[in-house]
Chain A
Amino acid sequence: MSAPAPHFTIGESARRIAAMMLRYWYLLRSSWPRLLDLVYWPTVQMVTWGFLQYYITTNAGFFARAGGTFIGAVLLWDILFRGQLGFSVSFLEEMWSRNLGNLMMSPLRPFEFITALMVMSVVRLSIGAVPVTFLAIAFFGFNLYGLGFALVAFFFNLMLTSWAIGIFVSGLILRNGMGAETLAWSIMFLLMPLACVYYPVSTLPVWLQSVAWLLPPTYVFEGMRALLIDKAFRPDLMLHALALNAVLFAGGVFGFLALLQSARRQGSLIQTGE
């Protein structure tokens, strides 16, 4: 019996991606705690940091000029953190429901799976973050959308970073089982001090600054401060971030595929528990 022709067209591929998105949409719809979880923590974060900023601006001249940097940092950090979490949680749903074997033995290709997870991370992020941005306007008069094109550049770069890390962490979970789940929840916090979310890079010791500049989000948060404090958009920072993100994203995908291959060798895909 000869090998049949390859079964791949763009339309078929799009249908499989749509199938996965539909699966996650059904899942979100079926559980109000899941939806609540998307919204409540960003809201708590924004309100807490917003009041802190309000207090500081009324007591310090510099911060009076730097209006919005804290809330802006909180909202952008949330894009980074929630983007990665949105990706990883959708992936974890397959582990929790012991459905990964069904997917891996279906015609779904790894890049289709990854694409569906990326789109769902944007959907999940939108559900959680969009209402919070409106609350920021209502509570503190901070309009994230007022950043205009810069916001698009910030958002795109942060999402690329979050996907790259989400993809790599998913590969680790695929290969090592649920023992690696903690990474999905905590890996972004490893980046937080070095990405200089709430303070300029110059705050770090000189030797650590060069490490910080290896991380794409560092450029985004520096760019945000430049915009809010100096009223200057820095395209050079965004291009640097984009170049680093391209490397990071390629590394994430390569790592995922290598770990998937290793999981096939080790038989980890049959037993997707701890």
Chain B
Amino acid sequence: MAPSPTVAVERLVKIYKSVRAVDDISFTLAPGSITGLLGGNGAGKTTTIATLMGLVMPTSGRVSVLGAEMPKQRYRVLHRMNFESPYVEVPMRLTVRQNLTVFGMLYGVDDLHGRITRLGNDLDLTALLDRQTGKLSAGQKTRVALAKALINSPDVLLLDEPTASLDPDTADWVRGHLERYCHERAATVLLASHNMAEVERLCGRIIFMKRGRIEDDDTPAKLLARYGRDTLEQVFLDVARGTGEAREAAQ
């Protein structure tokens, strides 16, 4: 028997005034899977992620995470989830250690001191722990945000552009860390990114969104084959520009 999905989204609709930000989408995420959520700006990715976190209330439909109905039962599972998003920041006036201490306490992390030390080592933040977050470079801040997202060793991790602002070397290193973390923890990850190489490397499955709807949903290899393309970037453009259907039909 297949294990119950970690995340189950059923006919989710979110309407802001007259705008259908998310339009009747359904998908499930298997435990321990890494799924890419792709789409152009305004495709509905952020609203979908925010709904999974219980930050946005669905207009209709059902969202369940780790068996809890969101947002109604969110406090049952929020301590097992975490996220990183460009829409929020880690407070700039606090040092990295102070921020991680505060968030660690909020998430009820045991042996917080040890956890911060380990994260410092893992994310190359040890030398920065006592520096003010606001005085770090953009790349260092991204690593701090990732440390905050991992502070509670989450079972469900929602990442929105996790390697933005990182140089290629650091971005590659962070991807490696995420891969290891997910493998060791069997964490379920939903990753929104515009970096197709990143998505191709990390994700076993890709969900394409456009104008609030799911346009396609498959493994990277099958998507490349179906669209007759060599790279995911080309597939992304096909989906975004609406040329995908014609191409698929031609195939």
Q: Is the CB of A270 within 8 A of B55?
A: yes
The chain B residue with its CB closest to the CB of A23 is B102
Q: Is the CB of B56 within 8 A of A264?
A: yes
Q: Is the CB of A108 within 8 A of B76?
A: no
The answer for the CA separation of A186 and B21 in the assembled complex, in Å, is: 36
CB distance from B81 to the nearest CB of A (A): 8
A267-B47, A267-B50, A270-B55 as given contacts; A107 in contact with B107, CB under 8 Å? yes
Instruction: State whether the Cβ of B5 lies closer than 8 Å to any Cβ in chain A.
Output: yes
The answer for the CA separation of A105 and B4 in the assembled complex, in Å, is: 24
Q: Is the CB of B105 within 8 A of A18?
A: yes
The answer for the CA separation of A270 and B160 in the assembled complex, in Å, is: 13
Bin the interface of chain A by size.
35 or more
Instruction: State whether the Cβ of B242 lies closer than 8 Å to any Cβ in chain A.
Output: no
Instruction: State whether the Cβ of A203 lies closer than 8 Å to any Cβ in chain B.
Output: no
Residues of B within 8 A of A231 (CB): none
Residues of B within 8 A of A6 (CB): 75-76
Instruction: State whether the Cβ of B103 lies closer than 8 Å to any Cβ in chain A.
Output: yes
Residues of A within 8 A of B83 (CB): 105
Instruction: State whether the Cβ of A4 lies closer than 8 Å to any Cβ in chain B.
Output: yes
Q: Is the CB of A106 within 8 A of B89?
A: no
Residues of A within 8 A of B14 (CB): 267
Bin the interface of chain B by size.
35 or more
Q: Is the CB of A16 within 8 A of B105?
A: yes
A2-B67, A3-B73 as given contacts; A99 in contact with B88, CB under 8 Å? yes
Instruction: State whether the Cβ of A210 lies closer than 8 Å to any Cβ in chain B.
Output: no
The answer for the CA separation of A172 and B108 in the assembled complex, in Å, is: 29
CB distance from A124 to the nearest CB of B (A): 16
The chain A residue with its CB closest to the CB of B52 is A105
Enumerate A1-35 residues with CB–CB distance to B below 8 Å: 1-8, 12, 15-16, 18-20, 22-23, 26-27, 30-31
Q: Is the CB of B90 within 8 A of A99?
A: yes
CB distance from B155 to the nearest CB of A (A): 10
CB distance from A222 to the nearest CB of B (A): 42
The chain A residue with its CB closest to the CB of B102 is A23
A4-B77, A26-B98, A102-B90 as given contacts; A12 in contact with B108, CB under 8 Å? yes
Instruction: State whether the Cβ of A101 lies closer than 8 Å to any Cβ in chain B.
Output: yes
Contact with B along A239-274 (1 / 0, CB 8 A): 000000000000000000000010011110111000
Q: Is the CB of B69 within 8 A of A3?
A: yes
Residues of B within 8 A of A19 (CB): 101-103, 105-106
Instruction: State whether the Cβ of B115 lies closer than 8 Å to any Cβ in chain A.
Output: no
CB distance from B39 to the nearest CB of A (A): 16
The answer for the CA separation of A27 and B90 in the assembled complex, in Å, is: 13
Residues of B within 8 A of A106 (CB): 78, 103, 106-107
Q: Is the CB of B75 within 8 A of A99?
A: no
The answer for the CA separation of A16 and B104 in the assembled complex, in Å, is: 9
